Structure 1
């Protein structure tokens, strides 16, 4: 049986959302059926996962490992590399690739994973004017793909509601193992990470940027005055220096860390105040540990909460600090053990990386048959 030649195109393989989703798709790929290549478009960052990707039975091609190319050179180089690989399917995972791949030959079937509904995040990243242009271009090129795939049911629903455009939804999946609830390990990790043994810790993981609202979380914990709880904020970004000034015994801001899983095990609750998410990998990772969640009331967060038949957390209006404080208070009253076990069950039912990968593989096969 002839293998299906898949070529993924992505900016880089940094330890961030889209590359992590891509890794989880490929990790569970049936390599007897698929021949997989990746083309990266810009130099790797210090937090690159490229060596992990290269350890998989795939080909990784770096268009420009040492410098950033101008748009024309980038397109010409991409066209040459794709021609050398000659794939059946090109699958884009970032704005750069999404804007360039549609101009390549129609002989290649073109797939895009839509990691977030274009809107707030683009305006924060690029500014209001440039962001508005990026949003318009994103919609334009997404609608011209052979198969656009939403990373969550809520992103697909947003496209239908706002653009009246239907797309397949394949929710993100996580490959972390289910934590075995080893309380001795939890306490040992707390000691290693400099955490207190007797506090109930909430954990935030993400960029310290405007649309993530980490400042709102810090203000809430400053106002609650509950000495029995603490907050850990992991990440980096433009707001880091400002936020770091609020650090104290119960508000910890270690910055970016590569051992996020250790911190998740050491924590008790997950918290996010984001204005927008596609389907946050860190939320799914927290579910493998069984962390009840306090989440901003946005579509992707509601999507996860509504999967549950009993409470696994609470949503709040992230424009209302009192609503956030109420949600924190309510979650502390949940029966922790039963809620935690149910969250892990829910994860295994809906959000494993293997299930996500199998759905992508089925979609590729159906696309070529069509």
Structure 2
């Protein structure tokens, strides 16, 4: 008999946890597993629901047009789970974690922790509400039968700060490994309006304070005399104001579904984020082999230090210091790009492919039951 896994998630919009879920399901062994997905809120314009519908699974939307209140959402979820009667419930966001915790104990419960709940909720929701969210996340994570960190650093942080043993399964990307092709690169650069003779860095993420896009733009303003520029993909509350004040060496195309093509057209990957679990955009850049300029946070340290000391994948920076960012940018320009790219693609193949991640989740489901 197939094991029935029911995933619970707020929606299937194009965001990190949804992409992780997609990559788990993409490589699912359908002979051994049956899959259902329950979404809790209406879909956004960026929904990937049609991507999920290509698989032999069931999708249940508790709210298609109008959002439900907390009590109404819980009652609808409880009824749907009772009808589905799965073996395992697997939550992928805080909302689904909270609601899942009140469902009958006969369902085994797991939860993928996409970020250690530390300061991010306070940044997003304010000091007091953020502290409540942090407390609730820790409380319900501890009540969960099997919490799983999306990166080794999450397990390390729980061990250090809470004394908890948390299983870790690193995120994986399903993008194919790109072997450098000069003709394709030139064609894409021409299509995107990129200039010859310019080295392009690429930033991908939400334009919000915890990502420090303003500091990145300021760093490039310090380097305006160099033949470099940065492509900043994404949107968010800071996008409009930054777009008005950016320099000529900063490109802000906005949200796009062509991230992979932009990566192939670029020369370096850069992240100035204050916190990450294990960013899908970093893994996607690794599939292309882009040398990295990364903020000095634990998740980035784990990646960049996961090879012998004599092999360099990139540099780390103080993301809060504009001068440090500028120094890191100048340092990466001196790397042997071809050799670095080969090392990065090799690490991606060995550790960060979606097939590897999905197999580990499926093995855990089987052991769990």
Aligned 1:172-183 pairs, distance under 5 A: 172-183=171-182
Give 1:366's aligned residue: 367
Which ranges of structure 2 fall in alignment gaps of 5 or more residues? none
* CA contact 1:160–1:166 (8 Å) conserved in 2: yes
Instruction: Tell me how far apart the structure 1 counterparts of residues 215 and 304 of structure 2 sit (CA, whole Å).
Output: 21
Aligned 1:119-268 pairs, distance under 5 A: 119-268=118-267
C-alpha deviation, 1:180, in angstroms: 2.0
Matched, 1:356 2:368: no
* CA contact 1:172–1:353 (8 Å) conserved in 2: yes
Q: So what's the TM-score if we normalise by structure 2? A: 0.98
Matched, 1:30 2:29: yes
Specify the SS of the correspondent of 2:176. Answer: coil
How many pairs are equivalent? 367
* CA displacement, residues 119-161 of structure 1 (integer Å, 9 cap, x when unaligned): 2211121111101000000000000111000000001111111
C-alpha deviation, 1:247, in angstroms: 3.3
* CA displacement, residues 269-316 of structure 1 (integer Å, 9 cap, x when unaligned): 000011100000000000000000000000000010011220110001
Instruction: Tell me how far apart the structure 1 counterparts of residues 30 and 213 of structure 2 sit (CA, whole Å).
Output: 41
* CA contact 2:318–2:324 (8 Å) conserved in 1: yes
C-alpha deviation, 1:40, in angstroms: 0.4
* CA contact 2:221–2:247 (8 Å) conserved in 1: no
Instruction: Tell me how far apart the structure 2 counterparts of residues 198 and 249 of structure 1 sit (CA, whole Å).
Output: 15
C-alpha deviation, 1:248, in angstroms: 3.9
* CA contact 1:227–1:250 (8 Å) conserved in 2: no
Specify the SS of the correspondent of 2:143. Answer: coil
* CA contact 2:178–2:288 (8 Å) conserved in 1: yes
* CA contact 2:203–2:233 (8 Å) conserved in 1: yes
Q: So what's the TM-score if we normalise by structure 1? A: 0.98
Give 2:307's aligned residue: 308
Give 1:280's aligned residue: 279
Specify the SS of the correspondent of 1:103. Answer: coil
Give 1:3's aligned residue: 2
Q: 1:91 to 1:299 in 2, by over 3 A?
A: same
Give 2:77's aligned residue: 78
Instruction: Tell me how far apart the structure 2 counterparts of residues 171 and 359 of structure 1 sit (CA, whole Å).
Output: 9
Give 2:328's aligned residue: 327
- Which deviates the most, 12-21 or 242-251? 242-251
Which ranges of structure 1 fall in alignment gaps of 5 or more residues? none
Instruction: Tell me how far apart the structure 1 counterparts of residues 236 and 154 of structure 2 sit (CA, whole Å).
Output: 25
- Which deviates the most, 122-131 or 134-143? 122-131
Instruction: Compute the RMSD of aligned alpha carbons.
Output: 0.8
* CA contact 2:5–2:89 (8 Å) conserved in 1: yes
* CA displacement, residues 28-64 of structure 1 (integer Å, 9 cap, x when unaligned): 0101000000000000000000001011111111111
* CA displacement, residues 218-241 of structure 1 (integer Å, 9 cap, x when unaligned): 000001233310001011001011
Give 1:90's aligned residue: 89
Specify the SS of the correspondent of 1:142. Answer: helix
C-alpha deviation, 1:323, in angstroms: 1.5
Instruction: Tell me how far apart the structure 1 counterparts of residues 144 and 234 of structure 2 sit (CA, whole Å).
Output: 33
Instruction: Tell me how far apart the structure 2 counterparts of residues 77 and 242 of structure 1 sit (CA, whole Å).
Output: 41
* CA contact 1:6–1:34 (8 Å) conserved in 2: yes
* CA contact 2:271–2:294 (8 Å) conserved in 1: yes
* CA contact 1:200–1:267 (8 Å) conserved in 2: yes
